[in-house]
């Protein structure tokens, strides 16, 4: 018999008042770490000081930015030992930094998101600013576990939650690109990863804007983002959750960093752009869902590019990853029209 080795999380806890219960959760799972190091932002460290104190951490390290330089600074300033458990408590920036530090030091870590802005809470990828000032993706080891405290997540900004919605639902476009590549280039598809990615994206499509801060929706979104991350771990790459819409987001970061916004918002924008301009769909189930859940309004308020800028974005998008076939390769940029595009 032949099997694929998949590093799935040993711990997955989604519910209320969980952060202060981390020591008990570890004990229940028969894990013992003599030292715990918490990584968080100064804002969250102060806001949840009483909660974090109950973890009994050896120390708390404040993460100032999501960059390679920050990773190197923290490693240089701290003499980490192999028996320390890292806890990344924060948004995507904090968790991405902890991911790469853990990968470099070979320490186990827990992902404890303070919001649900993207699928980075459990994915084999860390996206950080490199030494050239550009965002870059780095392969990392997935976490030992994920602990999502809905009571804390519920207090995060609405725009962050909607960003997570966009990142998850954009899987639907990524899967279309994967299938297209299979047809055109014979790229292999991992059907198990496809099933998980599809399941995770579809899990939230029936919710509306009034659901954004209720427990049922947030638990469903958290589970969806975890499953999306697992799909990437299974496939061994980001294909199940990253297609042309992610290339568009990367191009925005590269060309117009001063106008960039949350990653999940940008990929949702890219998804709509692809549906309308490349696929000729002025309306779709996804676009209606984005309107119903309030994401379209957020996109209109946060993303505004001229036709010339959009052409530049699309041109660069088609050149970013030439080894990843998408709809951007299937239809010439010179043959598309942006006149009908409207959020």
Number of Cβ atoms within 10 Å of the Cβ of 90: 25
User: Is 170 within any annotated ligand binding site?
Assistant: no
Nearest CA-CA partner of 229 in 109, 293, 103, 141: 141
User: Is 93 within any annotated ligand binding site?
Assistant: yes
User: Is 246 within any annotated ligand binding site?
Assistant: yes
Residue with tokens 């010439």: 332
Q: What does the block give as tokens for 135?
A: 């965002």
- Assign 212 to helix, strand or coil: coil
> Is the separation of the CB atoms in 66 and 129 below 8 Å?
yes
Residue with tokens 């960093």: 257
Local structure of residue 12 (DSSP, 8 states):
E
Q: What's the pLDDT at 282?
A: 83
- Residue ranges and CATH numbers for the domains of the chain are 11-152 (3.40.50.1970), 160-335 (1.20.1090.10)
Number of Cβ atoms within 10 Å of the Cβ of 283: 10
Q: Please state the pTM of the whole predicted model.
A: 0.94
User: Is 123 within any annotated ligand binding site?
Assistant: yes
Q: What's the pLDDT at 244?
A: 98
Q: What is the pLDDT of residues 231-276, one digit of tens each?
A: 999 999 999 999 999 999 999 999 999 999 999 999 999 999 999 9
User: Is 177 within any annotated ligand binding site?
Assistant: no
User: Is 317 within any annotated ligand binding site?
Assistant: no
Q: What is the pLDDT of residues 154-204, one digit of tens each?
A: 999 999 999 999 999 999 999 999 999 999 999 999 999 999 999 999 999
Q: What's the pLDDT at 1?
A: 63
* Pairing of β 11-15 and β 145-149: parallel
Question: Which residues of the chain have a pLDDT value below 50?
Answer: none
> Is the separation of the CB atoms in 276 and 327 below 8 Å?
no
- Rounded to 5 degrees, φ, ψ at 56 are 75, 40
- Assign 340 to helix, strand or coil: coil
3-state helix, strand, coil in the chain (%, to 5): 55, 15, 35
- Assign 336 to helix, strand or coil: coil
- Rounded to 5 degrees, φ, ψ at 106 are 65, 35
């Amino acid at each position: 018999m032949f099997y694929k080795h998949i590093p799935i999380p040993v711990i997955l806890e989604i519910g209320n008042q969980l952060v202060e219960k981390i020591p008990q959760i570890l004990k229940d799972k028969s894990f013992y770490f003599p030292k715990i190091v918490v990584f968080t932002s100064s804002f969250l460290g102060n806001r949840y000081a009483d909660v974090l104190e109950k973890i009994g951490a050896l120390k708390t390290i404040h993460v100032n930015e999501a960059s390679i330089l920050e990773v190197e600074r923290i490693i240089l300033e701290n003499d980490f030992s192999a028996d320390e458990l890292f806890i990344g408590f924060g948004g995507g920036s904090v968790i991405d930094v902890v991911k790469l530090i853990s990968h470099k030091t070979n320490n186990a870590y827990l992902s404890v998101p303070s919001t649900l802005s993207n699928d980075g809470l459990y994915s084999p990828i860390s996206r950080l600013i490199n030494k050239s000032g550009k965002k870059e993706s780095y392969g990392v080891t997935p976490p030992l576990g994920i602990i999502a405290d809905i009571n804390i997540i519920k207090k995060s900004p609405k725009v962050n939650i909607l960003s997570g919605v966009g990142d998850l639902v954009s899987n639907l476009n990524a899967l279309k690109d994967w299938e297209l590549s299979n047809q055109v280039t014979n790229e292999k598809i991992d059907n198990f990863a496809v099933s998980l990615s599809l399941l995770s994206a579809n899990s939230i499509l029936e919710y509306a804007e009034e659901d954004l801060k209720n427990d049922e929706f947030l638990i469903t979104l958290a589970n969806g983002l975890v499953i999306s991350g697992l799909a990437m771990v299974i496939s061994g790459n980001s294909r199940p959750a990253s297609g042309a819409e992610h290339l568009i987001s990367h191009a925005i970061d590269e060309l117009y960093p001063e106008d960039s916004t949350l990653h999940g918002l940008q990929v949702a924008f890219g998804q709509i752009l692809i549906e309308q301009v490349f696929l000729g769909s002025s309306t779709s189930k996804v676009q209606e869902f984005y309107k119903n859940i309030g994401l379209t309004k957020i996109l209109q308020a946060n993303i505004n590019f001229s036709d010339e800028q959009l052409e530049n974005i699309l041109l660069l998008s088609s050149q970013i990853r030439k080894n990843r076939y998408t709809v951007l390769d299937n239809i010439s940029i010179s043959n598309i029209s942006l006149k009908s595009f409207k959020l």
